[in-house]
Structure 1
């Protein structure tokens, strides 16, 4: 993942919380892995024309995590994360990625969303999770 010294911080806390408005995502970090957190929206990418997600995280084993904390436009969130992957990832096709959209309102799992999830798996080696209002993810599932 590209470097943004002014927009990133490292955390090894047992809980890493990202929140915006009513959406919140908590990463449990029981192994206290050193996680690089990049504030993408408004820092790493500042121009208003470029689609971008809110945060990108990099685990010590290189797994990339993309986070969009959203209102209700899930299809737009996919576009934001896809644009961010293309701009920031060192190897969009090879490096393992997790993508999270935490929305204040989640639509039912439509065929459109399922198609987008398959596209992300195939094109970006990325799993895609869509959750309502808040979610928790245990990083020990992916860290060494």
Structure 2
């Protein structure tokens, strides 16, 4: 078997979730982050990706860092109803942080910490 024929199988979560990505401030690196997040969400049977404009007022925007994107992950049921608080991640900058977020999503343990510079335990309030 040729080396190119070996494909890494990634175990992905079956836990339902929605990933919201702000694309308002994304540069070229931001579109690479979006592509990686798309691939991750596609690999999860109950994942959904939503792209949006700025999630905050422009003055408070956290995604304005070059190449950074803001990501919100909302755990939900298979019926897409929210279950628990959403998690605000970002700005996610650079390939290392994007890979960390993608691996975290693939594991589906929404309470697990991420080994990146921002605190993923900051929850977005929800009354849904």
> TM-score, normalization: structure 1?
0.30
